[in-house]
Structure 1
Amino acid sequence: MIRRVTTRVGSCSQLAPAKCIRLATPLQRRTFLSTGLRSRSDNSRASFDTLNVERLARERQDYDRTRLVFLAAGSVAGIIATIYTAFQLKNALEKNPTKLDAGPTYGSSLAARKVIVHDKEGNEVVPTGDSTVTEFPRTLNVPVFEDSSISSAASPQSTSQSEPTTEYTLVGLGVRTVSFLSIRVYVVGYYVATADIAALQSRLVKRVDPIATALVSGEKDELRAALLDPVKSEEIWNTLLEDGVPLRSAFRIVPVRDTDFPHLRDGLVRAIQARASMILPQEQVETPSKGPEFGESVRQFRQLFNRGKVLKRKELLLLRGEGGRLSIVYDDGRSFGRQYLGSVEDERLSRVLWLNYLGGSKVASEPARQSIVNGVIEFVERPVGTVATQVV
């Protein structure tokens, strides 16, 4: 028989002090977890003991450097993609413009007409739409320069009030821009001698209807389409200019920022060289007595522009006179007025310069060509000889 023995343990106050200390000390018992915890702690301590701070710093620097390279490459790629997308979008909008308002019909008498206003002195001017060169005169009175020698370029001649003048009437104008950013260079206007407008009217009207004296709506649309066509426009203007129609005309160039004569010359010479192939084959089969070689004419033209600066808002005139002679006139705004810089006799040179603005697949200023075509249509919708001095 088993006897249950119950042992009563008294309080600490009832026991000896040594025994109380022994009882107060907790007993450390070994369990199955104690070994795992101890080994894990030992491993963590060992891993910290083997850390290489310099190696970690190098790895961090390599990571930051690689990350910076990827970020820079992404930024450059984003900028290039944005510019390319904007360029493509601009081309798409120009090819197929979408407008909320219906445009005026070509048959309307109010379509695309120039606005005539009066300045403070009461002169008739046409707004250009540019913030720097704000207006062009509706008419120009240009002195008649009789000296056609190239030597005049060394000592420009000034004009006086007593000299006979020729009145020119504005046909159209526009802004010349460069690059896809449309940087403005100058405002250009096309003028025709008022007395020669009737001859231009007659040739254009007869081209559409040989027996008509003015064109009606459908005929005007036909002529407009031909003057805007890349091939037909060049053929029409080349034939007219070669035949001396109009006999006297001018391009008025006014820079919108300070430039110089060599800069303007280089742009005009590039235009001459680009279109020279159109007329040179026709001249090669003719006798050389017709005039100087075309290369010599270009050299003379370049010589006229061996000058200094051309300030903004100052006038440069390219005049095409009788026989196709090209004259250069510059007005720097001083008291002695317009200065005659010289001329080139070769008709072919002025013809290709005029074609650079009037016809072909690529002109110097498309807004100027559109405005010039609108001005020509205003001529042909009236009876021949009735335009006189008014271009509305």
Structure 2
Amino acid sequence: MLRQPAIRRLAQLPTRSPFQSRVQSRSLLSRRSSRTHGRPVENLNIRQLSEQSEEYQRNRRIFLWCGTVAGVVSFIYTSYKIAVELSKPVQLDSSLPSTDPLAGPSGGADRKVVVYDEEGREIVPTGNSTVPTFPRTIDLPDYTGPISSSSNSDSADPSTIPTLTSPTTEYTLVGLGLRTVTFINLQVYVVGYYVATSDIAALQAALTKKINPIATTLVPGEREELRALLLDPVAGEQAWDELLRSGIPARSAFRVVPVRDTDFHHLRDGFVRAIQARAPTVGSPRAGTAAEDEAFGEAMRQFRAVFNRGSVPKRKELLLVRDETGRLSITYGGDRRAGRQLIGVVEDERVSRALWLNYLAGKKVASEPARKNIVEGIMEFVERPVGTVASQVVPVINAKP
């Protein structure tokens, strides 16, 4: 009897199927998992992290290589600049004030530089690789003649070639430059203007008096006025024409050295065109002066005959020398074996004067760099007291060109 109530109570309990048990267990587990989701969790993308690391390392390597290259380039550039600065000669008077009569237009910075070659000779760099230097001074004899204008051999009459015992005169380089032709600036030759050292004083005095009649040297402002005068196409040509007519400088020369192989005919054609272009200036024949016409024509025939020769290899020297009478002497050679040989003389001073004006002044000159460099050399002269030879170069001992 006691069991019946218990059985009855068990029967009243709700019955659960196995499926309901599994659902209940899952709900319990689900509640547990939902509670765990509340914790902070970091989701990592391994592939993305790997790509970011590779990109960082790549950028780091690029940055390090750029720094290395920049350091090497800066080191090389700095070393080069130091070497260039150390190779420059010291300008001995560069610290002089601009108002000092001995100071150049830019404190001495524009002075030509002369160096000594391995044999101790003074040379001036030209800036050209084929003809890299010109001698600062040359010694020339007093050429005598005339020689036959009909001679067209490659060597002059031995009786007209000065011997080694002939007295010589020292000529000092005033300025030089490169002659170019055509619109592509084809380089032809380097030309340098030399003046007899003992005649520089007369040139100093004449140019100084043109600006200040009572001065013995020109101050910077006066030098600028003279520079403008000499560079002016009209005034400069008039000034040089007056000087040359009066025999100032008494003795001078143009040294021509080709930078490429050429021949006498090409050089002659250029010189003849220059003389003809300057004919009105130098007082060439005018209408009604038959005697002058005939004399000038004969002088031009003599001049052309001098160049009736063959080839002129590069680096060979052609020297045009004008003496105190205006006579033009032409020499060729200049090497150590044969020396300079006199190949022609033209007596009419108008020929040499026209050639000189072709380089020194006018609207169109044979070489504008040479004309400007010659003017700067003149400035070196007039900044010194008259009667002193201008120290237009600053020597650097044991320097190689």
**SS at structure 2 position matched to 1:189:** strand
What is the aligned partner in structure 1 of residue 225 from structure 2? 222
Residue among 97, 121, 124 paired with 1:123: 121
- 1:149: Cα distance to partner? 3.6
Q: Give matches, 1:27-176, under 5 Å.
A: 107-151=105-149, 153=151, 156=156, 157=158, 158-176=161-179
- 1:358: Cα distance to partner? 0.2
User: For 2:212 and 2:265, how far apart are their aligned partners in 1?
Assistant: 45
User: For 2:118 and 2:279, how far apart are their aligned partners in 1?
Assistant: 44
CA change 1:163–1:281 in 2 (3 A) is closer
User: For 1:281 and 1:124, how far apart are their aligned partners in 2?
Assistant: 40
- 1:281: Cα distance to partner? 6.0
User: For 2:240 and 2:276, how far apart are their aligned partners in 1?
Assistant: 18
User: For 2:192 and 2:148, how far apart are their aligned partners in 1?
Assistant: 25
What is the aligned partner in structure 2 of residue 295 from structure 1? 297
- 1:185: Cα distance to partner? 0.2
The gaps in structure 1 that reach 5 residues or longer are: 1-104
What is the aligned partner in structure 1 of residue 45 from structure 2? none
- 1:299: Cα distance to partner? 1.0
> Paired residues, what number?
286
User: For 1:285 and 1:210, how far apart are their aligned partners in 2?
Assistant: 39
1:249–1:320 Cα contact (<8 Å) kept = yes
What percentage of residue pairs aligned between the two structures are identical? 62
Note if 1:361 corresponds to 2:359.
no
2:284–2:293 Cα contact (<8 Å) kept = no
- 1:153: Cα distance to partner? 4.3
- 1:146: Cα distance to partner? 1.6
Residue among 209, 213, 235 paired with 1:210: 213
CA change 1:142–1:284 in 2 (3 A) is farther
- 1:280: Cα distance to partner? 3.1
**SS at structure 2 position matched to 1:116:** strand
What is the aligned partner in structure 1 of residue 387 from structure 2? 385
Task: State the TM-score, normalized to the length of structure 1.
Answer: 0.69
Residue among 181, 184, 200 paired with 1:181: 184
The gaps in structure 2 that reach 5 residues or longer are: 1-97, 99-103, 394-401
CA change 1:351–1:281 in 2 (3 A) is closer
CA change 1:292–1:328 in 2 (3 A) is farther
User: For 1:180 and 1:325, how far apart are their aligned partners in 2?
Assistant: 34
Residue among 248, 266, 282 paired with 1:279: 282
User: For 1:283 and 1:321, how far apart are their aligned partners in 2?
Assistant: 26
What is the aligned partner in structure 2 of residue 372 from structure 1? 374
Note if 1:196 corresponds to 2:194.
no
1:272–1:349 Cα contact (<8 Å) kept = yes
What is the aligned partner in structure 1 of residue 9 from structure 2? none
Note if 1:327 corresponds to 2:329.
yes
CA change 1:227–1:282 in 2 (3 A) is farther
1:170–1:391 Cα contact (<8 Å) kept = no
Q: Give matches, 1:261-272, under 5 Å.
A: 261-272=264-275
CA change 1:153–1:243 in 2 (3 A) is farther
Task: State the TM-score, normalized to the length of structure 2.
Answer: 0.68
**SS at structure 1 position matched to 2:146:** coil
CA change 1:185–1:298 in 2 (3 A) is same
Equivalent position amino acid for 1:243 in 2 = S
CA change 1:332–1:108 in 2 (3 A) is closer
